[in-house]
């Protein structure tokens, strides 16, 4: 019990939710340092992200303003919620790239997907038909409430196939926050962690922020991602440039964004 409590609370002592938004004297480089964002929803109208082409372009311009060079956008692939296919995503990418050419924005845009663990994902995985980015990375998510029964089998299958699994927003899964060993088990099995920058700014909740800080303090963050759905998210992320949390993430974690 005591050990359990220690595990649960001690990591917060170095950086608490109350202290991390202390202002710094200067601005920290954000996009210039990260270079590539690996999680966003910018193909208009196909998921809960950007609704129009204008909104997509505005968000991409905001990424460029923050210093980013490349955005890998990752529409949801979730069979009972969004009727998406790889073709739909790639056709959408083509359209956004074409529109981007008409603007002075020089950001490089690519697309993959945020795969929800479900039957559709399993089928695509066994067919080796996955949208990846850079060095065969897959971005995946799962139920926030229940651990998928075959989670570790699927991770192994991804690795056998030569894919490198990245778990989107590990700070959001309630079942992992209740069983912190799972974070270590996933890490030991080779899964990389992508924390949402929005979580560091206490969106969508203080609870999510708390676990994002825990991951930060334990050096478990491999990638930062925007998970941008709308322009307001970029405004929130821009505020990170002047807060101490970003410095802590850089200091305590070995981020891989700039290796992509």
- Judged by the rule CB under 5 A, the positions of this chain that interact with Fe ion are 114, 227
Q: Report how far residue 173's alpha carbon sits from residue 2's, in angstroms, rounded to the nearest whole number.
A: 24
Six-digit token string for 121: 């994902």
Q: Which is nearer to Fe ion, 114 or 222 (by Cβ)?
A: 114
Handedness of CA 249, 164, 155, 71 (dihedral sign): positive
Max CA separation in the chain (angstroms): 61
Q: Which is nearer to Fe ion, 37 or 114 (by Cβ)?
A: 114
Q: Report how far residue 68's alpha carbon sits from residue 36's, in angstroms, rounded to the nearest whole number.
A: 6
Q: At what angle do helices 86-101 and 53-65 cross, to 10 degrees?
A: 70
**Nearest distance, CB of residue 72 and Fe ion, angstroms:** 12
Q: Which residue is nearest to Fe ion (CB)?
A: 227
Q: Which is nearer to Fe ion, 217 or 227 (by Cβ)?
A: 227
**Nearest distance, CB of residue 114 and Fe ion, angstroms:** 5
Task: Please name which of 247, 232, 225, 227 lies closest in space to residue 35, comparing C-alpha atoms.
Answer: 225
Q: Which is nearer to Fe ion, 177 or 226 (by Cβ)?
A: 226
**Nearest distance, CB of residue 108 and Fe ion, angstroms:** 20
**Nearest distance, CB of residue 161 and Fe ion, angstroms:** 22
């Amino acid at each position: 019990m005591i050990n359990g409590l220690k595990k649960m609370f001690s990591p917060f002592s170095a950086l608490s939710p109350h202290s991390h938004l202390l202002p710094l004297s200067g601005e920290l480089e954000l996009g210039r340092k990260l270079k590539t964002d690996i999680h966003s929803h910018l193909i208009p109208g196909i998921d809960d992200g950007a609704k129009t082409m204008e909104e997509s372009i505005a968000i991409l311009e905001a990424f460029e303003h923050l210093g980013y060079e490349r955005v890998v956008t990752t529409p949801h692939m979730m069979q009972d919620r969004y009727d998406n296919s790889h073709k739909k995503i790639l056709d959408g990418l083509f359209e956004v790239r074409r529109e981007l050419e008409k603007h002075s924005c020089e950001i490089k845009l690519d697309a993959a997907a945020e795969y929800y663990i479900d039957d559709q994902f399993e089928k695509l995985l066994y067919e080796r038909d996955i949208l990846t980015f850079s060095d065969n990375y897959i971005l995946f998510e799962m139920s926030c409430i229940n651990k998928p029964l075959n989670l570790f089998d699927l991770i192994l299958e991804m690795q056998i196939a030569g894919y490198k699994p990245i778990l989107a927003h590990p700070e959001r899964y309630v079942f992992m926050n209740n069983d912190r060993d799972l974070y270590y088990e996933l890490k030991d099995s080779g899964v990389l962690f992508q924390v949402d920058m929005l979580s560091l700014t206490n969106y969508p909740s203080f609870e999510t922020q708390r676990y994002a800080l825990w991951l930060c303090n334990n050096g478990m963050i491999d990638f930062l991602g925007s998970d941008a759905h709308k322009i307001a998210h970029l405004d929130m992320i821009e505020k990170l440039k002047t807060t101490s949390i970003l410095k802590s993430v850089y200091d305590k974690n070995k981020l891989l964004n700039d290796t992509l």
